[in-house]
Amino acid sequence: MSAIIPFFQWCDNTMISQAIRNSRIAFPIIENFHLFALTVLLGSLVVLVLRQFGLVYKGQPISEVASALRPWNRWSLAVMLTSGFLLFLSEAMKCYGNTSFRVKMFFLFFALLFQFTFYNRIVKNEGTSAPVGGKIAAAVALCLWFGVGLAGRAIGFLG
C-alpha cells in the first residue's frame, strides 16, 4: 500500500486542500451537502427497493418508478462524489491511515460497479413484479450503499 502514499501526500497539499483546512466553515458546509446528498441518494434507493419487494407503488411498473427516481439518484450521486472528494482532499493523509476510510472505498467501488453494471439494467427491465434475482439485486445494492454510509460515519468515530 505504501506505493500510493505519494498520491495521498499530493492530495493533502493541493491548493484546494489547504483552502478547506484554512477555512473554519468550508469543511462543515461541504459536509452538510454530503449529508443532504446522502439523504436523497439512499432515500431514492430505499423507495426503489421497497417497490421491488412489492411494498409500495404496486400500481406502477418497477421500470417506471426507477426512471422517476433516476435523475434524483444521479444528481445526488454527483453531489456525493464531489463533496466527498473535497472532504477527502482536505484530510487525505488522515484518510490514508484510517481503516474505516479503506473499508468505505471498498464498499464504494463495489456499490458503483454493481449499480452501473447490473442493478440499473435490472430495474430498467422489471415490470409489475420483480423476480427473485431482482429482489436479491435490490438487497445487494441496499447493503452496499448502506455499507458506504456506515463505514463513512465510522471514519470519524473509529479511525
Quote the cell numbers at residue 75: 444528481
Beta carbons of 119 and 73 less than 8 angstroms apart = no
# binding residues, another protein (CB under 8 A): 32
Q: Is 54 left (phi over 0), alpha (psi -120 to 50) or beta?
A: left
Q: Contact between 23 and another protein (CB under 8 A)?
A: no
SS3 state of residue 106: helix
Quote the cell numbers at residue 150: 456506515
Binding region for another protein (CB under 8 A) out of 9-17, 35-43, 78-86, 118-126: 35-43
Q: 11 or 90: whose CB is closer to another protein?
A: 90
Beta carbons of 38 and 111 less than 8 angstroms apart = no
Q: 4 or 157: whose CB is closer to another protein?
A: 157
Q: 17 or 100: whose CB is closer to another protein?
A: 100
Task: Give the number of residues written for the chain.
Answer: 159
Q: Which of 39, 99, 125, 128 binds another protein (CB under 8 A)?
A: 39
Q: Contact between 105 and another protein (CB under 8 A)?
A: no
Q: Contact between 36 and another protein (CB under 8 A)?
A: yes
Beta carbons of 48 and 123 less than 8 angstroms apart = yes
Q: In angstroms, give the least distance from the CB of 3 to another protein.
A: 32
Q: Contact between 8 and another protein (CB under 8 A)?
A: no
C-alpha 105/C-alpha 110 separation (Å) is 9
Which residues here bind another protein, judged by CB under 8 A?
28, 31-32, 35-36, 38-47, 50, 55-57, 59-60, 65, 68-69, 72, 146, 149-150, 153-154, 157-158
